[in-house]
Structure 1
């Protein structure tokens, strides 16, 4: 009977997390749509497995001038999209370390990723898809099994 209760609690926690994750995605999509209405959007991310994950979005003009910036940073699905101040009217292509000195390390890495993604897309390139943790494990398993043959 105790095992049954534990299984129900785990399933309930999973459902609550899925629901909160869905709400977070809805909130992110709304913020993205808001930025998309005013310009192109450059997105940078620094996923966190144990530490806080970070996503930044910059609404930019065709020349790269930042119109508005937002960030999503946190460890849980309770993290909210917030305005990222201090970047308006700066050019995304010419941001320097001094421009984001007030940001934490994960935020800096996400901003650098946004800059790199913007430059890649504007030069006609494609952003390569990064493998997930699960995909990396599967690739390693394939290498191990193929090496044994």
Structure 2
């Protein structure tokens, strides 16, 4: 059974919808950031304190590990698409779904100061979205717009995944 990997901006709903999808489809759910911290024995914050490059190296190892598993739902970190090798690994392991949430929705709903790359403030969300949107679209097998009520978004996500299966 192939994996389902959710990509998108920090605050786009990858963890929320990943857990819901896993419950409905009776599959294991793994948050890539949590997995990375356990496996590497250090926090993401500590990697970023060293350098973003140090974090991206650890993220690449994490994605390689997770992509080798079968039948899991993966919530990736927002910048996973910055390295082509990560996208290649995720695609090889299964379906890549882009949860596309508008930056104006993210800044009104997410505690940006708790996100390492967003701690510079809400404007950073808009900048990151512009920098990454083309990469997300290119990496995705399927794009699901995260707009409106969670139930409707989950319904769209389920429909898209079932068509792929």
TM-score (norm 2): 0.23
Q: Which has the higher helix share?
A: 2
Larger radius of gyration: 1
TM value normalised by structure 1: 0.25
Name the structure with the higher strand share.
1
Structure possessing the higher relative contact order (Cα contacts under 8 Å, 6 or more residues apart): 2
